[in-house]
Chains A and B, each alone.
Chain A
Amino acid sequence: AQTVTQSQPEMSVQEAETVTLSCTYDTSESNYYLFWYKQPPSRQMILVIRQEAYKQQNATENRFSVNFQKAAKSFSLKISDSQLGDTAMYFCAFMKRGMDTGRRALTFGSGTRLQVQP
Chain B
Amino acid sequence: DAGVIQSPRHEVTEMGQEVTLRCKPISGHDYLFWYRQTMMRGLELLIYFNNNVPIDDSGMPEDRFSAKMPNASFSTLKIQPSEPRDSAVYFCASSDQGNTEAFFGQGTRLTVV
Contact = CB atoms under 8 A, between A and B. Distances in A.
Interface string B91-108: 101010100111010110
Nearest to A105: B45
Contacts of B48: 104-105
B95 A43 contact: no
Nearest to A109: B42
A43 B42 contact: no
Contacts, number: 48
A108 interface: yes
Interface string A86-112: 000001000100010110111111110
Nearest to B97: A99
Q: Is the interface of B mostly helix, strand, loop or mixed?
A: strand
B89 interface: yes
B42 A110 contact: yes
Contacts of A104: 31, 48, 50, 55, 95
A73 B107 CA distance: 31
A48 B35 CA distance: 19
Interface of A: 33, 35, 42-47, 50, 91, 95, 99, 101-102, 104-111
B100 A95 contact: yes
A101 B55 contact: yes
B12 interface: no
Given A43-B106, A45-B91, A102 B101 contact: no
Given A43-B107, A44-B106, A105-B56, A91 B101 contact: no
* List of 9 A-B pairs having minimum Cβ-Cβ separation, nearest first: A45-B104, A108-B43, A101-B50, A110-B42, A105-B45, A43-B107, A33-B100, A47-B101, A101-B55
